[in-house]
């Protein structure tokens, strides 16, 4: 009986019927900011390289994880802790205000890990052509998540990494 309880209640993992161990995300209200960075079960081909502190205005704590894929594309997951859920929403609105001068609407609402998120389509000119990059931003409680990459004109891997955040 003790073995059964220890396998079911072990923090961070659950066994399925085949005996495979799956990572389970910690509840956001007990997780540290480092726990919110995905390092395992990443989209195929994306490798976690490390994490460092960053400064995000109006955040009490913030970090950025760096990833790469086999095509040498860069991916970033930023997590910002704020003082409250309202402060997190304000941080997102402030971030989105950077795009207020755009001549098009760069925002699209999408669903990520059972949360509403905003996809931001940002344009750049590369070799005389309009190209797009994608960024995802959302909050869960008092945390703000920002996922981006330098991949041009394709949001699929960036979206998959945003889903891998799981919060």
Which of these, 61, 48, 67, 78, lies nearest to 146 by C-alpha position? 78
pLDDT beyond 50 at 149: yes
Q: Is the dihedral of CA 28, 30, 32, 34 positive or negative?
A: negative
pLDDT beyond 70 at 165: yes
How sure is the predictor about 23, in pLDDT bands with cuts at 50, 70 and 90?
low
Report how far residue 150's alpha carbon sits from residue 131's, in angstroms, rounded to the nearest whole number: 11
The DSSP annotation for 55-72 comes to --TT-SEEEEEEEEETT-
CA 114 to chain centre: 13
φ, ψ of residue 121 to 5 degrees: the values are: -100, 110
Report how far residue 14's alpha carbon sits from residue 124's, in angstroms, rounded to the nearest whole number: 44
For the stretch 73-121, pLDDT in tens is 999 999 999 999 999 999 999 999 999 999 999 999 999 988 899 999 9
The domains located in the chain, with CATH, are: 28-165 (3.40.1000)
Q: Retrieve residue 51's tokens.
A: 């994490």
CB 48 within 8 A of CB 67: yes
Interval 6-21 mean pLDDT? 43
Residue reference for tokens 């059964």: 4
Name the pTM for this structure.
0.84
Q: 112 - beta bridge partners?
A: 115
């Amino acid at each position: 009986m003790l073995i059964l309880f220890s396998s079911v209640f072990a923090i961070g993992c659950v066994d399925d019927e085949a005996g495979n161990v799956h990572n389970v995300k910690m509840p956001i209200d007990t997780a540290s900011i480092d726990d919110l960075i995905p390092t395992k079960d990443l989209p195929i081909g994306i490798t976690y390289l490390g994490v460092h502190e960053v400064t995000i205005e109006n955040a009490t704590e913030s970090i950025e994880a760096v990833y790469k894929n086999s095509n040498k594309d860069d991916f970033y997951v930023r997590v910002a802790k704020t003082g409250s859920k309202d402060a997190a929403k304000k941080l997102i609105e402030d971030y989105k205000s950077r795009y207020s001068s755009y001549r098009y609407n760069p925002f699209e609402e999408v669903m990520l890990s059972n949360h509403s998120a905003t996809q931001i389509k940002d344009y750049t000119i590369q070799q005389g052509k309009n190209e797009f990059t994608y960024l995802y931003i959302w909050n869960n409680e008092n945390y703000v998540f920002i996922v981006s990459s330098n991949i041009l004109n394709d949001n699929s891997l960036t979206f998959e990494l945003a889903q891998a955040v799981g919060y």
